[in-house]
Amino acid sequence: MSNQTKAGPISFLTELPANIWHSIFRNPLPDSDLGRSATSFTNFFLHIQPVKVHRHSLKLTYTWGLGLISLFLFLILSVTGVLLMFYYVPSTTQAYDRMLDLRGTVAFGIFLRNMHRWAAHGMVAVVFLHMCRVFLTGAYKRPREFNWIIGVGLFLLTMFSSFTGYLLPWDQLAFWAITVGTSIASYAPFVGNDVKFLLLGDTSVGQEALLRFYVLHVAVLPILVTLLIAVHFWRVRKDGGLSRPPEEDEVFPAATPEPVAMAPAAASAVVAVPAPAVKLGEKAQLEKKLYGIQGIVRGPFTKIGNVPDRSVFSWPNLVSLELLVFLITVAGVLIVSLYFNAPLEQPVNIMHPPNPAKAPWYFLGLQEMVSYSAFWGGVGIPTFEVLLLLLVPFLDRKPGGVGKWFARERLLANSLFMTFVILNIVLMIIGIFFRGPNWEFVSPW
């Protein structure tokens, strides 16, 4: 007879919360190393992370949490975006009215729109800063070249996601920004007009363009970003965790590995590996080396017993930091959304373009260059910049200076990169603040 039948319906009720809890969370809060490993291993969300993580990766001043903030902004955008989809209709006759409804009649509608808009701008900026951090710490070098390339893909997709969303409110700002933005594409030789037509589904911005931008914005681009983020994170694990200076991995004389009590399944996953040819002194040491089944990945900290233990358990060290970064990101977006409303101008009037008609801020550097030369500013230089970014890890093959900000060995690479960044930012600032009617220079003061 089961316990439940013995104890009757009262105990069924009293034990119900605990039984449900234990059916979801199989391990109690851990108080041992084995428990901390099991917490990461057996949780769907936590198992994405390694069981142990190097102390250097936890230094906030190394990553500034920028990759994580990018991820959390993308999550905020996905949640608020789905909620907005309940109200939005991608039709030139309804879109603007739906924006007014969000502002006037939908509970928290304006707040939802603000969160979506500011998180989108934030993501463009933070992903760019994350790219700068990766470059300035030399973290694109072997074996992380491919992850850098995935990152460049993510950067372009982030900009394009923000750009396609810009049109959806169907107000004057949106309409003319996209008109300017897409006309830049038409400066490409031979294919320019075809690319523009493919994007707009017409020769000018109208219903077809709105529908295309909508489908790209709510389905195609988010799916691509999700896929690339998954590969990006997988590569961070497979490349041996985050980059760090070599001295962080110096091998001290190995201590004999402590016998660890393991569950049978985990124990069978651990195999002794014959030592490779090494100097005599090291050989005895390496013969004791054990690898976990995950030892196929690069980097030293999946090896047991032969590395200085500069790693700590992800639970709770990494998880608590991630939670903190998540809370700060959400709080930041909430506060900005509380105080600043996303712009909504007059409904589209194709007879009255604003003067000047400006692209979204992250494309204003391009627009500024276009004002000097349509081809070079709109196509030549941007294509060259993207190619250069993609080739960065293959142009700079020197191994030194990884894992440190502004390392001496990387003075030339960092100076070139900073010149490139500053030039682009200066062009953007000119476009935002110093250009007035007919794209003449004006004083912002």
CA dihedral sign, ordered 104, 167, 340, 73 = positive
Q: What is the largest CA-CA distance in the chain?
A: 88
Cβ(99)–Cβ(169) under 8 Å?
yes
How many C-beta atoms surround the C-beta of residue 337 within 10 A?
Answer: 21
What's the closest the beta carbon of residue 187 comes to ligand HEM, in angstroms?
25
What's the closest the beta carbon of residue 218 comes to ligand HEM, in angstroms?
17
Going by C-alpha positions, the residue among 404, 415, 416 that lies closest to residue 63 is 404
What's the closest the beta carbon of residue 130 comes to ligand HEM, in angstroms?
5
Q: Residue with the closest Cβ to ligand HEM?
A: 151
Nearer to ligand HEM, 34 or 312 (CB): 312
Nearer to ligand HEM, 61 or 105 (CB): 61
125 vs 155: CA distance, rounded Å: 10
369 vs 153: CA distance, rounded Å: 23
Nearer to ligand HEM, 384 or 434 (CB): 384
184 vs 194: CA distance, rounded Å: 13
Position 129, amino acid: L
Nearer to ligand HEM, 74 or 96 (CB): 74
What's the closest the beta carbon of residue 377 comes to ligand HEM, in angstroms?
23
Nearer to ligand HEM, 140 or 363 (CB): 140
What's the closest the beta carbon of residue 435 comes to ligand HEM, in angstroms?
28
Q: Which residues contact 285 (CB under 8 A, 6 or more apart)?
A: 253, 254, 306
150 vs 138: CA distance, rounded Å: 16
What's the closest the beta carbon of residue 401 comes to ligand HEM, in angstroms?
13
What's the closest the beta carbon of residue 292 comes to ligand HEM, in angstroms?
21
Nearer to ligand HEM, 159 or 430 (CB): 159
Which residues of this chain interact with ligand HEM, rule CB under 6 A?
63, 66-68, 70-71, 74, 127, 130-131, 134, 139-140, 144, 147-148, 151-152, 154-155, 158, 229, 232, 236, 242-243
Nearer to ligand HEM, 288 or 298 (CB): 298
> What string of DSSP letters covers 108-169?
THHHHHHHHHHHHHHHHHHHHHHHHHHHHTTTTSTT-HHHHHHHHHHHHHHHHHHHHHHTTT
